[in-house]
Amino acid sequence: MSSTTTPLLDVADVAAGYNGLDILNGLTLQVAPGEIYALLGANGAGKTTTLNLLLGFVRARRGRVRVGGVDPAQDAAAVRRQVAYIPENVALYEHLTARENLDYLLFLAGQPQDAAAVGAALSGAGLDAAAHDRRVAGFSKGMRQKVAIALALARHVPALLLDEPTSGLDPQAAAEFSRLLGLLRARSVAILMVTHDLLGAAEVADRIGFLLAGRLVEEVRASGSDRFDVRALQRHYAAAEVGA
């Protein structure tokens, strides 16, 4: 992120947690429009707490949190109108088709679309046309992810939060998911993904941050044709995992 770019997601020196126990301890993290940021760390490092902080489910005890200039603790509803969130296991209405799910979820978001726009979003997310009117009960995880991405495409939100987005996906589905993230990046969406998938992050992220005990301890930016030195990333990740 350049120094002249205003971050869409802005976390500065935040301490936050649950039941009086801080999980985040001085976290500082910014993600600009049109940027993909991957946040890696061991279980308990604070990855999910960071997402909950940005969604307004956790309040900062100290520091600044802004999403599009809005403090989630002050106006969580306004923040969530700007954000699409895709959890590790996408929750859809099993008895509805992909199209019906999108119709209903857009209605709930206060952004109903016509049939052509819904179909275009599903196709843009890479869901085969034959699946648009099939019930999602039989969908694979990759197909469910595509419906969730279609919702983000149709809503035109400026920020996307992802929790372990490639967990359980086969290599082809993971590659397709990375392609879809590139499509959203081209739309100037600010994307924050928390993940254990180092190689997947290296494929798509513009920056990779390593979280340890609620604090960002290392940050690496993609550069050149190779983007990242994967061996160096593995060393950073191993150090974060063991607390070195």
Determine the pLDDT at residue 46: 94
CB contact set of 24 (below 8 Å; sequence gap of 6+): 14, 15, 16, 17, 46, 49, 50, 53, 60, 214, 215
How many distinct helices (H) and strands (E) make up the chain?
8, 9
Q: Where is pLDDT greater, at 124 or 244?
A: 124
Band (pLDDT 50/70/90 cuts) for residue 242 is: low
3-state SS class at 208 = strand
Q: Which residues pair with 20 in a beta bridge?
A: none
pLDDT exceeds 50 at position 244: no
Q: What is the 3-state secondary structure (H, E, C) of 40-89?
A: EECCCCCHHHHHHHHHCCCCEEEEEEEECCECCCCCHHHHHCCEEEECCC
Co-location of 123 and 9 in the same domain: no
Co-location of 14 and 110 in the same domain: no
Provide the number of structural domains found in the chain: 2
The residue out of 106, 138, 156 marking a domain boundary is: 156
Co-location of 211 and 147 in the same domain: no
* SS percent in the chain: helix, strand, coil, step 5: 40, 30, 35
The residue out of 98, 127, 156 marking a domain boundary is: 156
Co-location of 187 and 220 in the same domain: yes
**Predicted TM-score (pTM) of this structure:** 0.87
Give the range of the structural domain holding residue 15, as residue numbers without chain letter: 1-82+160-244
Model pLDDT for residues 87-119, shown as the tens digit of each residue: 888 889 999 999 999 999 999 888 899 999 999
Distances from the Cα of 130 to the Cα of 4, 42, 76, 126, 152, angstroms: 45, 40, 37, 11, 21
Contact 199, 230 (CB under 8 A): yes
